[in-house]
Structures are given as C-alpha cells and as structure tokens.
Homo-oligomer: A and B are copies of this chain.
Amino acid sequence: MDSKSYIIVTGGAGYIGSHTVVELIHHGYNVIIIDNLCNASHEAIARIEFLVRKPILFYDIDLRDEKQLNHIFSSYNIQGVIHFAALKAVGESTKMPLEYYDNNIYGSISLLRVMDKHNVKTIVFSSSATVYGDATRFENMIPIPETCPNDPTNPYGKTKHTIENLIEDLHKSDPSWRGAILRYFNPIGAHPSGLIGEDPLDVPNNLLPFLAQVAIGRREKLYVFGNDYESHDGTPIRDYIHVIDLAKGHIAALDYMNSLQRDVGLYREWNLGTGKGSTVFDVVNAFSQAAGKELPYEVVGRRDGDVLNLTADPSRAKKELKWNATLTVEQACRDLWNWTTENPFGFRIDNYHWKIFNESGTFNYENRLHTVKFPDLQASFANYGALIQDVQYKGQHLVVGFQEFQPYTSDDNPLFGSTVGRYANRISKGSFQIKGKAYELDKNQNGSTLHGGSNAYNRRYFLGPISKHYRDYNTLEFILLDEDGNNGFPAEVETTVKYTVNNSSIEIEYQSSISENSPNDATAVSLTNHSYWNLSSGGTIDGTVIKLASDKYLKTDPKTQLPSGEIISSTQPLTKSIEILPDVSFDNCFIVDESDFSLDTRGRELKTIAEATHPSSSIKLSVASTEPAFQFYTGDNIDMDPIKPRAGFCVEAGRYVNAINDSSWSKQVLLHKGEFYGSKLKFTFSC
C-alpha cells in the first residue's frame, strides 16, 4: 500500500465526475476513479490524464461488485468518496425503473457497506434538485432552499432521495459519519480546454446538449415546450450552472468536511446552483451567440410536470462552504461550443478501439494497445513507449513487433517501434554542458549514452492518448512527463507524440517543451521513432530496393560510432536506388540538410527521405520528414530469437548524432523553457 491518501470518485469518467476529478487534482488531492463505463467513456480518463499531466488510477468495476470494491479499499488508504456513479436520465428511468433502483440504490448500498467496513466515513453525494419535485406547490419555496420538502416525481429522483435518506440514517446511527449531499440544479458547459464535456448517449434530455447537437448539425431543430409561462419571454426559468463551478462545489464540500474536528460527523444538504434563473430563450440566445449562428427552434406544447420557475437558493452553500458560482451562462455556452466543435460526436471515435496490453489478465489501464483501422491500413500503438506495435497495409504486416507485451520490456529488445527520447542516438562520453554546467547522463558499456539511457522514453508509459476521429483520418496523441534529472538530463520535459493515421499513411508529430515549473530551464532533446520496416512477405530485408534522399552521411569512428564532424559521401548510388543484398549493411546518419539548424522543424515541408520496395510484394513504403538528418540502419544487430538479424530496416529521421556536443549543431537539440522542440515524420504506403 502506498502511503498517499486518496479520494475515490465513483462515476469519475462521467460528465460532472471528470470535471471534478480535474479540479480535485488541481487542488492537490490524489484520486482513484471507479467507473463501470456503462454511460461514460475511458476516453474521458485519457483526456483527464492529459489535462492534469498525471496517470489516473482507474478501475473499471461496478459498485454492486462488493468483492472488487473491498479489494480497492484494502489496497489504498482512502480518505473519502465522491459518489457520482448512477444512471441519470429522467425519461429513461420511467421506462426501466428496476435498472435505476438497482444501479443507483443498490450500487450506493454496496458502496456504503464497503466504506463502513473499511471505516471510511466521508462521502460527498451527487444528488439533484430533482428530489424537490415540483417546489412550486409550496408557498415561498422559489428560489428553492434546502428545507423545501422532498417529493420526487420520477424513478431517477426517487433513487436520489432514497440514497440521501440512507446517508442520513447512517449518520444518525453513527454520528461520526460525514455526508455532504450536493443537490445540483442544471449543469451546463464543458472544460475550457475542449478536452472533456458532456457526452449524452441517444437523444439528449437537457436543453444545452440538445442545442449543441442542433448547432453542429446532428439535429434539425430545438423543441421549446411552451412559451406561455409568466416569464419575461414566456419560457420556463431554470438555474443553469457551469460544470466547472459545480466541480468546485465538491472541493468546497470536501474541504469543509476536512476542516471539521476529528470525529465530528455531519449530514447536510447543499444546493449547488447560481441563484439566477435563465429562460429557455435566454439560453438559446447565449448559445447562438457562442456558436455564431441562429439556431432553429419550434415552440410546442408544455410538457407534463413542467413548471414556471425552479431556481436554487444557493445561500447555504455560499455561507457554509464559502462557495458560489462565478461563471456565466455565456461562458458555459462558449465552452460547450468549443467542446462540441472539437468533439462533434463526443467521445465516440470511429475506426478506433483499444485493449489492455498485458498477459496477466488484470485490468491495467496504464498499459493499453490502441488500434486505428481503415480499409487498407491498420496500425496499433501502445502507451508503453508510445510505440508502433503493428502496421498492416492491405493485410501485410510491415513492421516488426510482438503480439504480447512482455518481450517489449526485454533488455534484448532493440526498441522495436518505440519512440526514442529524450535524446535519440549517441551522446559522446554520456555528458554535455549547458551554460557552464556539465550533466552526466546514464551511460552504456561503451561509456556513451545511447537513445536517452536506461529509463528512457521507450521504457515509459505515456499518458493519454487523446483519440479523435476526423472525416478521413484519426489521431492519437500521447504525452509523457519526463522528470528533471531522469537519466541525468536537466529540466522536466513534456513530450507529446501525435499519430495521424489515414487509409495510406501514418504521420508522427513530436513536440517537447520544458514544464513551466521545472527547476532547470534548458536541456537537450532529440526524438525519433525506431520502427523496423520489412516489405518482404515473411523473409529478411535482403532484396529490398531502396532509394534515399541523400548519399552524404556523418563519418564516424568505427569503435565509438561517434561522428568526427566530417560529412562524406557514400560510394553507392543511394539516391538512385540500390538493392540491399545480404552483404550490404548500413548504420549511418545521412544528412538531408546541412544548413537549417532549427529546433522546431514542423514548419518545414515534409521531404521524402527514403522509398523502399521488395520484389516479394507490391507494397511501396515512402518515408518523409521535416528533419535535417536520418539514421539508416539495416538491423544487423537484432538478436532476439526468434527475430533474426536483418528482420527489418530503420529510417530514423532526426537530428545530427551527438549534436548537443557540437557547437554549431547544438541549436538542433538545445531546448530552453518557453521554446518548442518539434518535428514531423510520415510513412506512406502504396502499391
């Protein structure tokens, strides 16, 4: 058991849950997400990882599984629980009440039983203003205070009401229990990053998600249920609250409970609303403005059970939790529009699936294998090393990789498919100097540093990926936080590896920058991908016909393989095309550009640096990059039975070898805080 204490967030992959997790982490809490993903997406978790730059502990379990819950509570030091997990569609709840009672009520009973068993007695419960039912039946209950009688009118609301009762009864039976009941009004908006937001399945029940789908063209028009209410424009008034404000309300409740004296319990309900009502037309106008277009709507009859005004009285939360909503409906509409345009279909990503990438059968979210599939091209990428595990073009496997995870961790693995970093290729004597300070790196047996050292990018689990689907391509974006001092390198570096896959190509975009709060503000970065290509149908690369963009390469010392600084030309007609016969070997850094020493080459045009074919198949590989150099390697040193030498060749576009130790070349790799290291590589397949 690690010594940290955690907040468990049930339903943490959902709309409000995911935003709350981000706020929790920003406020210094350690979080474990439990979510059965029955109405949420793993993608939200990958994106939270991106937002908070941390791996997220995530368990895909159902709260009704007491055995698995017990295991989690036994494995970590749990400080409290924020309990979102529930089915939450009012309309659906009237159609399948058993599922609602079972999921929501029994799920909560199970959770509370396990909490009680493990002496975890702090819970923030995600309740709803739905528990009030029609508050207009009572005198002086608009805006609605927490003391308004509860009388929910649908199964969803009844389940929330029952769970509130249970927590209250539990507190009465054992006053050391702490239960904060947060009754939400109408949560809207999304994270300003556009990375997480509401992702309703089927037809949205709520005004804003419906409007967003109208705006993005997924639905024809909005139906306005009645414009004959006694409001300024005739439409009913509700209390819309930005999901970020709502998320912060949970932190306020948690902080409030943590501020109580030890052993002092609590049961208390707090409304989370703004206290300001907006009509349907107010919201339509705000969203139209955010989206920059008028949105079609049709006024139809009133809905059963709708009433004029259901606005919160949020004064109790303001007074006791020192919390109040600060974001406007306009801001929420802008954030929602941003989220919608970035993710028109929410978290549903076509052409994409993932699986856990290990053999033990345990659910280890950190270690996944992601596959993007187009008719001709299918490619798989792992969080481990952000590596390319498989590329199939027209059914033919083109890179060396393993079906299982374990071999990737072997010392004999010559970085099959891996991202290479923080510093690709060799650094002489395993050291460099910046502003008069020398850094000693992790060295190999030859005394130099190869491919970043022993705990380099190829051995790290990247966070994310953000997975997106566009009209004719998909992207997968991984991120890694490489700590200051790892392998001896100064500065904390954030590196993203973004794969763009379409029906015939895989593009890689690298970006590195030094984190804002990094103690050191300069370092050396050089990134590439170490895929071993093989165009033959099952044989070695022998017979491959290859044409390179350059026949000039860095002359190296045969012993150390380090460059002398001299650029020489090959005796072979490499720029014409040669056949790689069994006795032809390369492991050289070819120079594409001798003058441009940019740190970020992404602005340059992709230039084809290698084209390859093999007589045993009709597939042609074309490698392009924005980089000034590339290592061409015929795989002679592969030694990982059953994979034999020359099972694949590498075209590792990147910077000059050992550039950090060369005063004129070092501009290519010397990264300062505020700057970006960047490059693009592209592999294109054709017949």
Partner-B contacts on A (CB < 8 A) = 93-98, 100-102, 105-106, 109, 112-113, 116, 155, 158, 162, 165-166, 169-170, 172-173
Contact = CB atoms under 8 A, between A and B. Distances in A.
Nearest to A117: B98
A166 B101 contact: yes
Nearest to A151: B149
Q: How many copies does the complex hold?
A: 2
Q: Which of A96, A109, A155, A158 has the most CB of B within 10 A?
A: A109
A305 to B, nearest CB: 13
A95 B175 CA distance: 11
20 contacts: A93-B169, A94-B169, A94-B173, A97-B173, A98-B109, A98-B166, A98-B170, A100-B169, A101-B105, A101-B109, A101-B162, A101-B169, A102-B109, A102-B113, A105-B162, A106-B106, A155-B169, A155-B173, A158-B162, A158-B169
Nearest to A171: B97
A96 B109 CA distance: 12
Given A158-B162, A162-B162, A166-B101, A173 B95 contact: yes
A340 B348 CA distance: 68
Contacts of A98: 109, 112-113, 116, 166, 170
A178 to B, nearest CB: 15
Closest 7 CB pairs of A and B: A97-B169, A155-B169, A106-B106, A162-B162, A102-B109, A101-B166, A101-B109
A97 B116 CA distance: 11
Nearest to A100: B169
Contact of A105 (B96, B105, B116, B155): B105
Contacts of A162: 101, 105, 158, 162, 165
Contacts of A97: 166, 169-170, 172-173
A101 B169 CA distance: 10
A588 B450 CA distance: 105
A361 B97 CA distance: 38
Contacts of A169: 93-94, 97, 100-101, 155, 158
A53 B219 CA distance: 68
Residue in A97, A113, A116 whose Cβ sees the most chain B Cβ within 10 Å? A97
Nearest to A168: B97
Nearest to A167: B97
A102 B105 CA distance: 9
